[in-house]
């Protein structure tokens, strides 16, 4: 297609995607051209008559597939952040085509022979440290993809990969379908306890669905959790809660149970073809943790004190119910509601008190200001860059010299066309292989939009999420590597959460909140007394939060260590495993299996959901470096953080990178101390 914008030079500012010109029908022709170009590039590398060297093999691989990367980045951004029936239909086709494209490349015997020759001679090639790392990662990628298998095994693995691509796409489409199909209309009599900001957001959500003048609760976490925390209507809390945990598990056309069973069987077969006893053993072999045993040890170390704290909190919540005259047992849809009451009593604090001070724009400004004080970055809003939805904003990022560094896209509001959750991705990654390429980095969230001219207000959890995702964004924005395969977040899964979780610490610092937490109507700063009570309440309900997370991580691990044939019916397996660890029945998994997109929409976090907690050991310890310096913006510590963590990408081993920053390995108790569970652990 001569007029296909995906196949033409982008004459936009900073050569950004012309979203205003791109239509669904452009993607298949663009992918077909990109696949053909990439195949030709790979064939030329594999058939090169010259002896393999770093430049004609590894560097050539780095230069290949540029059109495919460009088209895929735009496509997957739209599928996740602004989908449509047409795009979802194309996604089902593209996922299969993508698997069929990559399988023969990653299993190309001639290409792998060249890579293997270089890898075996790596010590004598005179490589730079970054080149040595790239060679090691390239060899590992091809080896783990089955390049060294015999042809029969390669054929079977290719078929498995194609099927897994289809299943992962179907899983995510089913989840989105259940989330889009369900909503609960609330009238004036149903709003007892709900903050005005929630009701305004519920009206905006209704308008998004063509129900102007009404108000709805949706299955977005940003709608469900505030409702469960605030609504006095126990019957409505139960209805919302049950709909939320039933996503993908309703026995309808969006049911994910059979998909999970097949995914687990195919992953197990993959692991055995590649010489591993379980899929978890296969995945974790290429991680910081290395083994399922190491992961289980960490999770169990945290599980015991977290469960003890949660059980104590459960008893306190039940006592509160009795005190109020309730004659019912605490249920999962009650926990957040009564926990909020208990927090108000114990810490004299509730989220509703601070939310008017946490406007979205001020929290964005706080995140930007923190990046400026730590790393010298500045952010200028641009109105001339095409975007995929009117809500999306774009900032030009400059370094401390005033030179262009990157563009940052922020897409913050929930809408029916967007999958739930929050994430960072990129439209273009930083590299310096053939001149400096500036990155295009995206943050996507699902916050409730303000209405009637009022600004969007964030809960403390929302504000933390914003900083978390911006920490990921900084990993991409500050990347300073030569090779695209090592850029930004191209690191081990159990290291990638360190930059994001570490950045969360600044959001809750008094000097940040005192400056940026201002009342959305009066502009008054956060009162000192409210700030003090907020900081004191941070560790409240950590037993609940830790239990719901660790239980999900343990379920993920068990799914991928136990024989697939022994798992059986998914809900029964879930209940068996929860009973085995003594899961309090009043707390649900943060992600029930049928909605666990982290591990079933694709395999990036499969056997890897623990990564958030593995990284938290490091992030809790890492922030200590600033505390020990007596300044949370200490220039020397910030420079080490920049050089060894945020700018380094995947150019060095993550354990070495952490030690280079901190001067030692992380202290394992830092996580428990941060969550306020150290005393419980010591008692155990």
Q: Which residues have a catalytic role annotated?
A: 469
User: Half-sphere exposure (CA, 13 Å, Cβ side) for 632?
Assistant: 16
- The Cα–Cα gap between 342 and 349 comes to 9
Which residue is listed with tokens 């790239």?
A: 134
DSSP secondary structure code for residue 642 in this structure: I
Neighbours of 49 (CB within 10 A): 4
**Tokens at 297, concatenated:** 């040890």
Helices (H), ranges, 219-278? 221-230, 234-245, 257-273
Q: Is residue 377 classed as helix, strand or coil in its secondary structure?
A: coil
Element (H, E) at 427: strand 423-428
The whole-angstrom separation of Cα 233 and Cα 221 is 19
Residue 511, classed as helix, strand or coil, is: helix
Query: Which long-range contacts does 16-20 make (Cβ < 8 Å, 24+ apart)?
Result: 16/385, 16/386, 16/407, 16/427, 16/440, 17/73, 17/74, 17/386, 17/427, 18/386, 19/74, 19/386, 19/387, 19/388, 20/386
Residue 495 · residue 646 · CB < 8 Å:
no
Distance (Å, rounded) from C-alpha 199 to C-alpha 347?
26
Q: Report, in this order, helix, strand and coil percent for the chain, each rounded to 5.
A: 60, 5, 30
Task: List CB contacts of 132: < 8 A, sequence separation 6 or more.
Answer: 122
Q: Any idea how long the chain is?
A: 684
**How many angstroms from the chain centroid is the CA of residue 73?**
16
Give the list of residues 6+ apart from residue 128 with CB closer than 8 angstroms, or none: none
CA distances from 70 to 35, 39, 77, 146, 429 (A): 12, 16, 11, 26, 10
Name 479's Cβ contacts closer than 8 Å, sequence gap at least 6.
Answer: 429, 430, 439, 487, 488, 646, 647, 649
How buried is 142 (Cβ within 10 angstroms: 0-12 exposed, 13-18 middle, 19+ buried)?
Answer: buried
612 neighbors 549 (Cβ within 8 angstroms)? yes
Residue among 285, 273, 68 at smallest CA distance from 158:
273
Please provide residue 406's backbone torsions phi and psi, each rounded to the nearest 5 degrees: -175, 175
440-447 vs 423-428, strand pairing mode = antiparallel
**Alpha-carbon gap, residue 333 to 217, rounded angstroms:** 15
What's phi and psi for 356, nearest 5 deg?
Answer: -60, -15
Distance of CA 596 to the CA centre of its chain: 12
Measure Cα distances from 152 to 149, 273, 381 in Å.
8, 10, 55
């Amino acid at each position: 297609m001569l007029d296909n914008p995906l196949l033409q030079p982008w004459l936009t500012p900073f050569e950004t995607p012309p979203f205003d010109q791109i239509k669904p029908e452009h993607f298949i022709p663009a992918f077909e051209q990109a696949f053909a170009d990439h195949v030709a590039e790979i064939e030329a590398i594999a058939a090169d008559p010259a002896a393999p060297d770093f430049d004609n093999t590894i560097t050539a691989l780095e230069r290949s597939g540029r059109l495919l990367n460009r088209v895929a980045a735009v496509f997957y951004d739209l599928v996740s952040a602004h989908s449509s029936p047409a795009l979802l239909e194309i996604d089902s086709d593209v996922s299969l085509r993508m698997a069929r494209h990559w399988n023969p490349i990653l299993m190309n015997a001639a290409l792998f022979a060249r890579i293997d020759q270089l890898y075996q001679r790596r010590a004598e090639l005179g490589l730079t440290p970054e080149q040595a790392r790239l060679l090691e990662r390239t060899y590992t990628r091809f080896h783990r993809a089955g390049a060294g298998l015999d042809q029969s095994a390669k054929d079977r693995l290719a078929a498995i990969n194609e099927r897994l691509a289809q299943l992962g796409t179907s899983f995510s489409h089913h989840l989105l379908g259940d989330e889009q199909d369900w909503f609960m209309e609330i009238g004036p009599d149903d709003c007892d306890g709900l903050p005005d900001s929630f009701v305004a957001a519920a009206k905006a959500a209704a308008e998004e669905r063509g129900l102007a003048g009404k108000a709805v609760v949706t299955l977005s976490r940003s709608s469900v959790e505030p409702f469960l925390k605030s609504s006095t209507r126990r019957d409505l809390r139960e209805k919302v809660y049950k709909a939320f945990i039933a996503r993908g598990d309703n026995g309808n056309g969006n049911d994910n149970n059979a998909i999970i069973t097949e995914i687990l069987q195919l992953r197990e077969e993959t692991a055995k073809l590649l010489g591993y006893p379980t899929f978890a053993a296969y995945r974790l072999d290429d991680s910081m943790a290395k083994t399922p045993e190491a992961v289980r040890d960490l999770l169990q170390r945290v599980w015991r004190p977290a469960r003890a704290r949660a059980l104590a909190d459960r008893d306190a919540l039940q006592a509160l119910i009795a005190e109020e005259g309730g004659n019912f047992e605490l249920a999962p849809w009650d926990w957040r509601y009564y926990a909020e009451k208990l927090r108000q009593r114990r810490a004299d604090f509730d989220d509703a008190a601070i939310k008017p001070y946490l406007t979205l724009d001020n929290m964005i400004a706080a995140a930007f200001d923190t990046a400026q004080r730590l790393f010298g970055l500045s952010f200028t809003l641009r109105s001339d860059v095409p975007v995929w939805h009117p809500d999306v904003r774009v900032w030009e990022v400059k370094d401390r010299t005033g030179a262009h560094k990157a563009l940052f896209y922020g897409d913050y509001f929930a809408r029916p066309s967007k999958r739930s959750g929050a994430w960072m991705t990129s439209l273009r990654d930083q590299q310096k292989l053939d001149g400096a390429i500036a990155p295009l980095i995206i943050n996507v969230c699902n916050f409730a939009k303000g209405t009637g001219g009022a600004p969007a207000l964030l809960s403390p959890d929302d504000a933390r999420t914003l900083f978390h995702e911006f920490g990921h964004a900084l990993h991409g924005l500050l990347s300073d590597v030569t090779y695209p395969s090592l850029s930004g977040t191209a690191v081990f899964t159990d290291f990638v959460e360190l930059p994001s979780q570490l950045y969360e610490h600044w959001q809750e610092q008094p000097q940040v909140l005192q400056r940026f937490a201002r009342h959305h109507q009066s502009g008054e700063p956060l009162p000192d007394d409210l700030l003090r009570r907020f900081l004191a309440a941070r560790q409240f309900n950590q037993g609940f939060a830790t239990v719901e997370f660790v239980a999900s991580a343990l379920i993920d691990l068990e799914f991928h260590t136990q024989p697939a044939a022994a798992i059986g019916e998914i809900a029964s397996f879930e209940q068996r495993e929860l009973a085995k660890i003594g899961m309090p029945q009043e707390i649900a998994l943060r992600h029930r299996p049928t909605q666990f997109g982290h591990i079933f929409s694709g395999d990036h976090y499969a056997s890897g959901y623990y990564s958030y907690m593995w990284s938290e050991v490091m992030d809790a310890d890492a922030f200590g470096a600033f505390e020990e310096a007596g300044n949370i913006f200490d220039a020397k510590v910030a420079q080490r953080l920049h050089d060894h963590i945020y700018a380094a990408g995947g150019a060095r081993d993550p354990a070495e990178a952490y030690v280079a920053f901190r001067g030692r390995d992380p202290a394992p108790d830092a996580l428990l101390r941060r969550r306020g569970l150290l005393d419980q652990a010591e008692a155990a």
